[in-house]
Structures are given as C-alpha cells and as structure tokens.
Structure 1
Amino acid sequence: MKATTVATISGRLKIGFILARSFTLSAFSLFVDTLRLASDDTDKSGRRFADWQVLSSRGNLISASCGIQVAPTAGLIDPTQFDYIVVVGGLLNCENPVDEDTIAYLKRAAAKKVRLIGVCTGTFILAEAGLMDSHETCVSWLHFDAFRERFPDLAVRADRIYQLDRWRGSCAGGSSAADMAANIVRRHIGPSAERNALEVLQIDKARSHLDIQPRRPLSTDYDDSRLRAVILMMEQNVEEMLPIAEMAASVGLSRRQLERLFVEKAKSSPSAIYRRIRLERARHLLARTKAPLIEIAVSVGFVNASHFSRVFRSTYGQSAAEWRSSIGNPAAA
C-alpha cells in the first residue's frame, strides 16, 4: 500500500534557498543533497520529484563562512512557486546577513502563506524580520542565549534538532539539516525517496523532531535523553531557577524518580548539578566581563553576593574575587 504524501504546488517538491553572507556550507549542502538524492532513482541527480533554486536579489557570488562561494541560480522570483523557502544563516557577527530586498521578499512570501524555514542562524534573520512571531523557534544550544537576549518575547528552545511549527520551520544546523530535509521529503515525495537519499548519504536513519541535540553538558556524556533534557533546561534557566519537581514532570518523571536517575547516571543529585551549572556560568562571567559580584550573583540565581561568595569558596577553595584576580581579569584590579 502506497503511503499518503502531502500535495505540492506543481506536482514536484519545490524549495528556494536564501543564503546569508557567511552562511554555513554544511547545513546548506546536507539539506540540498538530501533533496537531490530523493528527487530521482538511485544516484542520477535528476529532478523528477523535486526542484530547487538558490535565490538572490543581486546575482553575486555568496561566500560561506569557510570561504567557498556559491552562485545564485535565480533572482527573487514569485515566492508562490515554492513549497518552502529555506534561509540558511551562518556567522552571527556578520552585519546585514541579507539585504533589505531579501527581507521584503521573505515578508511577501509569508503573506502569501509560503512556508519559511530558518536553518542554523537563519532563524535570527526570520525573527529580525518579525516572521517568527507566534511560532516556536528551535536553535542550536550554542546560539540559545543570543537568541533569547535579542528576541526576549519569542518562544525558543535548544533541546530539539529541528522544529516544523505550522507555517515556520527551524533547524539547529549541521547534520540536523539532513534530518529536517528527510522529513520534508517523506511528507511530500514519500518514504522510498527518503530511504534512497539517506542510503546514498550513508545515514542509517533520519532523526525525528523529538530527538535531543547532541552535546556535552559539563563535559560529561549521558546516554539518557530525559537526563540530557533536564540538564539543558537547567543551563537555560540559571537566573530564574526551575523547581526540580517541575523539570521532572516535563520529562514524565516524579521528583524522586529524577533524583534516582541523576544518582545512577550522573553520580550526583539534580540540585548539585544545577549548582555546578550556575557556578560554571558565574566563572565564565567572572573571566570574561567586568560586572560587579552582586550582578553576577543575581544573574546565576543567588539572592545576594555574600551567599554566592560562600558557595563559590566552598566549591573552588577561594572567593569569587580572589579567583577573578588569579586569572588576570582587569576587573579584579
């Protein structure tokens, strides 16, 4: 029995790519190569089931963050020709990653109900244009703090590899671009096309939107997704601490079950791990900023500087001020 697929505009899945200045080449290439391999049988690179264009307002070569340049294949043509428009971002310190004409084009596409996807920091471009309102955004854990600081009113998460939320999609970048592309291929072309693409790419199985982002919290690997998800929540909530029971419930456990899980896997209690995360964040701020101790204490969830200093000394054997001075931070002078 043939699997049901979602209808496309023209009978073929059509995707337009917007590449930001200093875009991430791996995210773009994995996304487009998944389409290429799904769009024909075996490895013929035909465009039987899918088509794609690299769009640009000016037609100039677009440089990736690694220095490789990509030539656009079309101008900013009618956005309704596409089922999706994918914005591939890159370096966050790149000013004006896309021009005003491209922003206007994305807004027109949104108004015409074309689905928009931000890959890597492409989500920042969409959010800056006001196009992620009322949608939940998935970003890399590496960019979570920057996104929340820049767009405090938007819902954001860094525990999943990608998100398809109604008219918007977002992707953490890297290899998860292939996972998101595989999901789209499965929806619009079918499981056999997805399987063909993944086999040629030597990917055993595409991850789903529920998979947790791979990372090493506190330089330690944990093999339990519930524990990883809770640690990620801790890292994302150091100023206003979440109750242990609330975090336990979010992963389907009671507080006691979560505590047993932490002792078994992390050899420590949830509260002790949470404290380590907050103190590590404090050490980062002590080393990298000139912020006064009270400001740092509050930013990592302590009610006053004296309590923070006591906990810091009991953990590291010296006060926060002494530690800052010992590493040569000019703020200690």
Structure 2
Amino acid sequence: MHRIAYLLPEGFQVMALATQAVFELANLMLDQPFYAVETYAMGGMARASAGLVLPATPLSARSKADTWLVAGNLTPQEPAAAPELIRLLSTVAVSARRMAGLCTGAFLLADAGLLDGRRATTHWYWAEALQQRHPQARIESDRIYIADGTIWTSAGMTAEIDLALALVEQDLGAKVARSVAHRLVMHQRRSGGQSQHSEMLRLAPRSDRIQLALEHARRNLSRPLSVEALAEAANLSPRQFSRVFTAETGQSPAKAVEGLRLEAARLMLESSRHPLEVVAQETGFRDRRHMREAFLRGFGMPPQAIRRGARAQP
C-alpha cells in the first residue's frame, strides 16, 4: 500500500486537504485500498488559517511515507517555519519516494534544501519572494505544477488538485486519473505546463450569455468563429452581442477569440511535438504565418522561441 502523508504547518491553508479526495476516489475506482492517507503536524495538532484545529500524528524523525504532501499557509514568509520542523522535513525526505509542496508549501521544501538546483513553482503572488529567498532554486511563476525528479511543487489552491491527479496518473495510469477527475466534476484537467493565468478567467464576463459564447469559442477554436456564430451561441443579435461583449469583457469578440487561440496554441507548443502547421490549424489560425504574427503581438516572441524555451527545460 502506498502511504500518502500530509504535513500541516501552523496556519496551513485548508484547501490542501481537498486533495485527499483525489486519493480517496482513486481507491474507490480500484475497488481496493491502494493509498493510505495520514496527517502529520508538529506536536500532534494542526491549526488552519481559518481556525480549524485537527488532531494529527506527531511528526518525528521516524515518520515514514512514500509520498509527502507539504501544505502551505497564506503568509509563507512570516513567521518563518520552526527550525525543528525544517530539520524533520529534511530527515523524512531521505526515505521518501516523492516530496510535494502544495502552493506555498514550496517555501518549506526550499527551507529544507530540497529545491536547490531544481525547477519549482508556487502561487504566482509569492513566486518572486521564494526566488529571492532561495536563489539556488529555479522558480517558474507561471506553471500549474512542476515535477523535477522526485520533487513536485504546485501553484495555489485548485492547482493542488491537478498535482494530486498527476501523482495518481504516475502511480495508476491516465485512465484512473481521468476517472477521478470526472468524479470530481472537474471542467478541465490541466497539465503541469499550463499557465496559472487563464484567459477565460481574465475576460470574466458577468452574464451567462457571454459566458456561453466564450465556452462555445473555447470548444471550437479550430473552426471559424465569426461574430454571427458567437452571437447565435449567446442567443443575441450580432449587433447587440458585440455591444454587450465589449461592455462586459473590455475587449472585442475578435480580440478575445485571438487570446483564447494564443493560450491554446502556446500549451500545444509546450506540451507536444506537433508541427507548427498542425498547431495553427488545431487552434484556428489561418496558417503558420498568421499564428506567428499573433504570437509576436501577444507574447513578443515567435512560436519557435516558446517551443525552444519549453524543450530547453530539463
């Protein structure tokens, strides 16, 4: 049985505990207990930032687990973690198969010396602080999660679920991970290379009709997406749709669709080996040249440079 151990520091953020549902449902999919989940804390008591107090197994040098998931808190730089906690974290890491920092839990891994020379991520708000505190680590502020060897780190909140699903996929395969995501009613299971910043979230329309139009666009990027087609999805006239869309998102429909296409194309470039012509076709650009022009406007660099940067990372 694979032992999953949660380390909860003082003031931990309760979202970390939501990831336990991933391992619980994986057991359910298998009809047998593959994972055993345990919770550890200094002194045997864990207090969350929201005030919740949980009993836990006292952390010691003899604590053992296959995978440790280290929770973070809302203000990771103050106060600093207790030296004894960092010492014990370094000790238990020696015998573990994997160590994972959930959100700002990456600060604890870094304090324990586990991120030295490694790629890692954390919540975008705290990425610069983590890099300054640990210049020997390579912090990437725009990733959902990163696995560098046996050390895993994730962005904040919901990205912790994506990391937990990736752990399940590594252990049990993609089919089980997809089934768990489906049971969790996840709209989308994100890869580690995906950006922390979502174009859909940035547009943030207020009305359901504009949201429906954007969802229609996201699902049909490879097709022509005229104002008339989007207006039909929103059940509005083209003129009324353009006016309402711009008022709610601050962008024209054409500009918003280009942003969605850029986001999808960048992900394909970073996570696949498809030729540029295929990436352009799948994400709705007229051709490779059209996609290049959009990348220069949106990212300030051509698609080839983004792909080279992704491949250059270990």
Q: TM-score, normalised by structure 2?
A: 0.62
Unaligned runs of 5+ in 1: 1-11, 230-253, 272-333
Q: CA deviation at 1:102?
A: 2.2
Higher relative contact order (CA 8 A, sep 6+): 1
Distance in structure 2 (CA, Å) of the matches to 1:196 and 1:228:
26
State whether structure 2 residue 17 is matched by structure 1 residue 19. Answer: no
Greater share of residues in helix: 2
Correspondence for 2:33: 48
Identity %: 24
Structure 1 residues 111 and 139: alpha-carbon distance in aligned structure 2, compared to 1, 3 A threshold: same
Distance in structure 2 (CA, Å) of the matches to 1:74 and 1:37:
26
Q: CA deviation at 1:137?
A: 0.9
State whether structure 2 residue 47 is matched by structure 1 residue 63. Answer: yes
Distance in structure 1 (CA, Å) of the matches to 2:131 and 2:105:
15
Correspondence for 1:31: 19
- The letter for the 2-side match of 1:181 is A
Distance in structure 2 (CA, Å) of the matches to 1:152 and 1:197:
37
State whether structure 2 residue 214 is matched by structure 1 residue 225. Answer: no
Superposed CA deviations along residues 32-69 of structure 1, whole A, max 9, x for unmatched, are 11111111249xxx871111111123012x22222222
Q: CA deviation at 1:259?
A: 4.5
Distance in structure 2 (CA, Å) of the matches to 1:151 and 1:84:
23
Structure 1 residues 58 and 74: alpha-carbon distance in aligned structure 2, compared to 1, 3 A threshold: closer
Q: CA deviation at 1:189?
A: 2.8
Superposed CA deviations along residues 143-186 of structure 1, whole A, max 9, x for unmatched, are 12211222223211012100111021101121111111111112
Computed over aligned residues only, the root mean square deviation of the Cα atoms, in angstroms, reads 3.1
Structure 1 residues 210 and 93: alpha-carbon distance in aligned structure 2, compared to 1, 3 A threshold: closer
Q: Which sits farther off after the overlay, 136-145 or 191-200?
A: 191-200
Which residue among 128, 131, 134 is the counterpart of 2:117?
Answer: 134
Which residue among 152, 171, 178 is the counterpart of 2:161?
Answer: 178
State whether structure 2 residue 295 is matched by structure 1 residue 261. Answer: yes
Asked if 1 retains the 8 angstrom alpha-carbon contact of 2:86 and 2:111, the reply is no
Bigger Rg, structure 1 or 2? 1
Distance in structure 2 (CA, Å) of the matches to 1:31 and 1:59:
21
Distance in structure 1 (CA, Å) of the matches to 2:50 and 2:145:
23
Superposed CA deviations along residues 84-133 of structure 1, whole A, max 9, x for unmatched, are 11111012256445433321221112333542111111111111222211
Q: TM-score, normalised by structure 1?
A: 0.59
Distance in structure 2 (CA, Å) of the matches to 1:48 and 1:141:
35
Asked if 2 retains the 8 angstrom alpha-carbon contact of 1:114 and 1:167, the reply is yes
- The letter for the 1-side match of 2:18 is L
Structure 1 residues 75 and 139: alpha-carbon distance in aligned structure 2, compared to 1, 3 A threshold: closer
Distance in structure 2 (CA, Å) of the matches to 1:258 and 1:168:
35
Correspondence for 1:120: 103
Distance in structure 1 (CA, Å) of the matches to 2:55 and 2:191:
31
Matched pairs, number: 225
Distance in structure 2 (CA, Å) of the matches to 1:262 and 1:97:
42
Q: Which sits farther off after the overlay, 199-208 or 148-157?
A: 199-208
Correspondence for 1:161: 144
Asked if 2 retains the 8 angstrom alpha-carbon contact of 1:55 and 1:73, the reply is yes
Correspondence for 1:9: none
Asked if 1 retains the 8 angstrom alpha-carbon contact of 2:25 and 2:180, the reply is yes
Distance in structure 2 (CA, Å) of the matches to 1:194 and 1:172:
19
